[in-house]
Amino acid sequence: MNKAPPRFASLPDDDGVWLLTWLGLFDIDSNMPTQRTMRGVVQRIRDSSGKTFREVFQNGYPERREAFDNMRLVQFAVGDLPMLSIGTFFSKGRAYAPRRGLLREQSFKIDFGRQQVFRLGDPPTLLPFESLVARHAEPVVNQSAVTAFTRSTDPYGICVPVAELLRWCYGSSSRMLQAVLSDELARVLDWVDEHALLNGNRLDLVLPPGFPPQDAYTLAWLSQDTQARLQALNIDRSIAVTRGRGRERGDPTSGISHPSALFPYNGVRRVRARGRWVPAPEGSPSRRRFLVHQILDVDYRLPYEVTLPIPQTGEEADAPQGERNRRLPPVQGQHTVLVSDQEPRRGGQARLLSALPSQFSDEKVLPREEGIAQAPDNLTFFAAPTPIGTFSTGLGSDVHSHARQVTITRKANDEPPEMAPPPARDDLAALRRVADLLREAGFQTEEVPVPLPPEHAEHLVVHVFQPPFHAYLAERARRPGEYGPLLVAARLGLAPATTDDLRPLLTTRQGRRSWPAALPGWQLLTVPHAFTDDQRFAAGVQGRLERLRGQEQQGGIQPVKPSSP
């Protein structure tokens, strides 16, 4: 296997040592329609030509501007981000991981409820430019976002560049990053919602087409955790909002986007990171601040295990917990060449690449024995035309294992594996059982007939009320293999609804959604069919009802108690 460091065609090919000093500027390149591109600042270390890496770095990390003699703004593909962080260095165009001895490894207790975002160039200056990038790069990065945390009395004592946040949280694969850094993510998560089943402490998942097994935990997390989902969806909006600000400020990278992001965690958690201390500006609460180059671990684990279906006999696939995969670049001779400013071409031979650990890269996906659900015929994802360019970072036996291909694509003329039809589910009967349990908890319920044209599926609407609170549960009959959540709806003001008010709930579809995402005059929530028994399902419904009510009334409803597992 060729594990030689990859060569980036966009980087200088001289024998000097170039250091990646900043990363996190995004753009859409017409040559790469399937993913956004990134810009990074690389600086050449003075007098580094012809020297060994030990000789170049013998005096530690080069922090002063005098240590560099050249600067370039280079382009990377989003698929390169899992292997990049500030401190990555290059020689003859080849990438090398940041040297451990140059950076400090620190452990902090961080309150994620107090995180905040600042931009490098906004007053007051919170990180000194002279410790970050060359003078000529200041206008390029001055709008770059940094997420900050409190250390001692300094509210900006720990600083994480947005690119490292994205790499750690969503860098399970380049396919995942392509989805997060585009408007595709909402469609992907809707598909996951339709095919996921939470069974106690186990989540049975089916991967969307084109996503490798290493994305299983990330997709499960974004599907089940509302805060994580919203934070991830906001990233593409931030890219759209900040794109083009440079025109107003005379930025030489006019049209480049500088998105901001927050970590989707709550509470106080232990964080281990590698980085360096930089001087704090005069008047700051502390003399120095910790700039994170690479996150190593966050004390956060999902409360369930994730399973994936075992492939059918004869189907080409990787084990769900397989080793790390490889990016599939164009190949020249025996060397890996990453051409980051154009679409990867067909026919290139794969080469192994190493990657940095990400949030769930230590988690192992469990196999389960059942068929693989197929995507609907009309489902399309924003994806590369070939597997070339995919890059995932799921781990094998240890955090430093290397990569291999995991993306699976079916040839156009292949027949899908035969599958036994899924058992039929009676969601209407389940809703009636839930209504009975809600009555035992103190609600009043009644079925509401809503006449619809014959082309619409059989449906059931249950009015749940405890005056002055009124809400409606809507369900439709589904064919075997169809999945969709229960709809929980309330009029604005929590007032009763008429039949005419209810009809749009049952007839409006937006995209591939089973129910409308929003309707004028309504508050809408959904409950997935992912509970092990009726009591837990009813408790989930009651939780949505209480969210609609806003706050529980004193002496009101007794909660539905789930049965013992």
Q: Is the distance from CB of 207 to CB of 308 less than 8 angstroms?
A: yes
Residues sharing a CB contact under 8 Å with residue 24, sequence separation 6 or more, in sequence order: 38, 141, 144, 145, 161, 162, 163, 258
Number of C-beta neighbours around residue 346 at 10 A: 11
3-state secondary structure 75-127: EEEHHHHHHCCCCCEEECCEEECCCHHHCEEEEEEEEHHHCEEEECCCCCCCC
pLDDT top residue among 376 and 130:
130
- Return the minimum-mean-pLDDT range out of 157-171, 347-361, 398-412, 524-538: 398-412
Whether 128 has a pLDDT exceeding 50, the answer reads yes
**So what's the pLDDT on residue 136?**
77
Q: What is d(CA 394, CA 363) in angstroms, rounded to the nearest whole number?
A: 8
**How do residues 27-45 score in pLDDT, each as one tens digit?**
766 555 555 788 899 999 9
Q: What is d(CA 290, CA 131) in angstroms, rounded to the nearest whole number?
A: 12
The structure tokens listed for 375 are: 């995507």
Amino acid in position 415: E
pLDDT top residue among 483 and 503:
503
Q: Give me the numbers of helices (H) and strands (E) for the chain, helices first please.
A: 11, 23
Residues sharing a CB contact under 8 Å with residue 142, sequence separation 6 or more, in sequence order: 119, 120, 121, 129, 249, 251
- Name the helix (H) or strand (E) containing 248: helix 245-249
The structure tokens listed for 11 are: 């980087």
| Arithmetic mean of pLDDT, 404-423 | 35
Q: What is the pTM of this model?
A: 0.63
**So what's the pLDDT on residue 473?**
94
| Arithmetic mean of pLDDT, 317-328 | 36
**How do residues 48-97 score in pLDDT, each as one tens digit?**
988 888 888 888 888 888 888 888 888 887 778 888 899 888 888 888 87
Crossing angle for the helix pair 427-440 and 534-549, to the nearest 10 degrees: 70
Instruction: Give 124's Cβ-side CA count (13 Å radius).
Output: 7
3-state secondary structure 324-369: CCCCCCCEECCEEEECCCCCCCCCCCCCCCECCCCCCCCCCCEEEC
Q: What is d(CA 243, CA 258) in angstroms, rounded to the nearest whole number?
A: 7
- Return the minimum-mean-pLDDT range out of 21-30, 231-240, 301-310, 327-336: 327-336
**How do residues 257-283 score in pLDDT, each as one tens digit?**
888 999 999 899 999 999 999 999 888
